[in-house]
Amino acid sequence: MSTATIALLGQPNSGKSTLFNALTGMRQHVGNWPGKTVEKKEGSFTYAGKEYNVADLPGSYSLSANSDEEVITRDFITSGKADVVCILADSSQLQRSLFMLADYAGINAPCFLLLNMADVAADQGKKIDAKAIEEKLGIPVIPFSATDLKSYTGFYKTLEKALSKGSKLNVAELEKQYDSIRGYQEICNLIPENTIPGYSSMWLATKVLENDKVVIEKLKQALGAASFAAIEEIKRNAQGAVAVGGCKFAWIDDVIAGAVEAKTQKVSLGKLDRIYTSKRWGKLAVVLTVLLGLIASFIPALPLMFVGEGVLALKGPVNALLIAIDCHEFVRLIVTDVIIQSFSYIFKMLGFVFGVTLVFGLLEEVGIMARISYVFDNTMGKLGLQGKSVMPFLVSFGCTMGGAAGSRVIDNWGQKVLTIALAWAVPCGAAWATIPMLASIFFGPGAVLVIVVILLTMLLHMWVTAKVFGAKLVQKEDRYGMIMELPPYHKPKWGALFRYVFGRTKETFVRVTRVVLLVCGVFWLLSYSPSGTGGILYTIGVVIEPVTKLFGMPWQLFLSYIASAVGKEGAVGVISALYSGGSYSTAFTNAMSGAGSTAAITGPGSLSSVLLANVSKPEALAFIFAMTFNMPCVVALAATYQETHSAKWTGRIVLYYTVVSLILAFIAYHIGLLIW
């Protein structure tokens, strides 16, 4: 079977990821480009007996060396690894989105042009003559809608045409535009063709005028000293990037002249955009949108959550069956307490991920996510992030796993990882169910002050974490806003949306299951004791108590702190078991399924009386801070690995939060000693 490699090139929001997912389905792999914090997506598909490999190149607005994404993209294209480059443009905003094509002009690789979102352009009353554009460009051009499966027949035919003819972009008219730039022709004459393989002299000369440092350094190495010195001298008195950009837009105007008919419309902000872009109400409107989306996520999540409850209901009958066949207790507990409870927990959390992916995928599909990014872009930029990062932060107040899953709307891999790292600092719904209860037991009315301090600590934690990880994950040149122009609102393509959601949910299920079963299995093994009151963790906790007391946690609280890394609700159950003489092993098992304590909060022998009799206020304060800012839970860990595709960075985040939570516990404990 013959093979060919396609590279997908396009600006953010051009529909490139939708096309990639539709072509490759589950036959895709996500990793990082060697030595870079940039996501690498590759996949494959088969059509008409031929196998195609697809490289989804990083989304960028141009091919200038302003970021790692842009350098990686152009290096891949000119490396010869791609047999053809598929360039995507947004038909609804053709003039702006063709800038990538103009910046590509001069790269010696076969290509064809997809005028994506043709359906959106049609809804706007635009008529585009693709044949007229094709004649001017000299490459295949096709109207297309990545969300419409009927469009793909034309795509495959155009792909085969581009491969068979090796079509290359006609740049004659663009070069005429460049001739008007002072210094261009002189620099171009000093750069022989094939000086740098894959790039024409025209393309290299314009990058010199744009002061592209990577290109300039390569020319310095490739040219003789005299030629390079001459180029540097001409460049000092030549016109620069503004003139080059003007020529590109003039060429774009010539390309689409006579090929695009549009109804004359008065350009104005709609009612919704006036709210989103309002200096007074914009941020509030975005926060309310995300919170309503979070609430709405629970509706499609319910079926999978019920499946999780159904799986848990199997525990009793399976346990009885294993006892009836005289199965060994150790094996029986692995089946019931590890496998069944883990799958119950996975399905419950997976339901929420399905809901979040569906609802926020819908918001992105109709154009609202771009508004969210626009409104918070400056605010998030202070942390080295883009505006879309605010969505995972807000979702994390409900579930950190959902926040991690929500980060998939972020194009830049480094910003995605940093967003997840910061989202871990946001206490989730399970933490908020536990914090007020513990604070009320120990501090009464003072619980409000504890909660306020936790919120302030969260903000400080996020700022410090951005400083710690930001330098590695997000380079200064990557700290840019992602929105050049607000895309138009348009109707969702439900078929494409559901295919995407089901595909991502399936992928999440596979990866999360591996991690959760492994982690929960290890924790169960460490906590297991035939008597229910011992185990390896129990022994370790007792031995290292002199150390853990420095952080304000006797061994009982320290073991509960470890349980909080598996599930926040279960930490309280472990405390209750350890101080009341219950089964520590059972309590830890319940923690792994997300179950809390079954003890009464008040009254004789209640959780309140047990805690007040055994735990001091400084110790309680230390535990609250340690638990709150510890690893959120095991499914958040799995979701982080799923989205980052990096065991190394997932491990770094876990270690960092473990250390920081203990430091916060130490500070809280010693402040508590001064107060009480």
Is 68 a known ligand-binding residue? no
Is 598 a known ligand-binding residue? no
Is 16 a known ligand-binding residue? yes
Question: How far apart are the C-alpha atoms of 342 and 346, rounded to whole Å?
Answer: 6
Decide: 465 and 425 in contact? Cβ < 8 Å: yes
Residue 533 exposure: Cα atoms within 13 Å on the Cβ side: 6
Decide: 396 and 402 in contact? Cβ < 8 Å: yes
Alpha-carbon Rg for the chain, nearest whole angstrom, is 29
Is 15 a known ligand-binding residue? yes
Is 143 a known ligand-binding residue? no
Helices (runs of H) and strands (runs of E) counted in the chain: 34, 9
Spatial CB neighbours of 285, under 8 Å, sequence gap ≥ 6: 275, 276, 278, 375
Is 57 a known ligand-binding residue? yes
Is 73 a known ligand-binding residue? no
Q: What is the DSSP string of 589-608?
A: HHHHTT----S-SSSTT-HH
Is 25 a known ligand-binding residue? yes
CA nearest neighbour of 403 among 231, 95, 643, 107: 643
Is 319 a known ligand-binding residue? no
Question: How far apart are the C-alpha atoms of 146 and 56, rounded to whole Å?
Answer: 14
Q: Which two tokens stand for residue 427?
A: 């206490």
Q: Which two tokens stand for residue 147?
A: 């969300």
Is 10 a known ligand-binding residue? yes
DSSP annotation of 666 reads H
Q: Which two tokens stand for residue 600?
A: 């009464």
Burial class (CB in 10 A: 0-12, 13-18, 19+), 337: buried
Is 38 a known ligand-binding residue? yes
Q: Which two tokens stand for residue 159?
A: 């792909």
Decide: 318 and 308 in contact? Cβ < 8 Å: no
Is 22 a known ligand-binding residue? yes
DSSP annotation of 195 reads S
Burial class (CB in 10 A: 0-12, 13-18, 19+), 67: buried
Interior angle at CA 306, CA 300 and CA 312, nearest 5: 145
Is 116 a known ligand-binding residue? yes
Question: How far apart are the C-alpha atoms of 557 and 575, rounded to whole Å?
Answer: 7
Is 17 a known ligand-binding residue? yes
Give the total residue count for the chain.
676
If DSSP codes are grouped into helix, strand and coil, which group holds residue 4?
A: strand
Is 277 a known ligand-binding residue? no
Q: Which two tokens stand for residue 406?
A: 């929500």
Is 263 a known ligand-binding residue? no
Burial class (CB in 10 A: 0-12, 13-18, 19+), 265: exposed
Is 532 a known ligand-binding residue? no
DSSP annotation of 72 reads H
Q: What is the DSSP string of 7-28?
A: EEE--TTSSHHHHHHHHHTT-E
Is 39 a known ligand-binding residue? yes
Summarize the annotated binding site as residue ranges. Answer: 10-17, 21-22, 24-25, 35-39, 56-59, 116-119, 145-147
Summarize the annotated binding site for Mg(2+) as residue ranges. Answer: 21-22, 24-25
Summarize the annotated binding site for GTP as residue ranges. Answer: 10-17, 35-39, 56-59, 116-119, 145-147
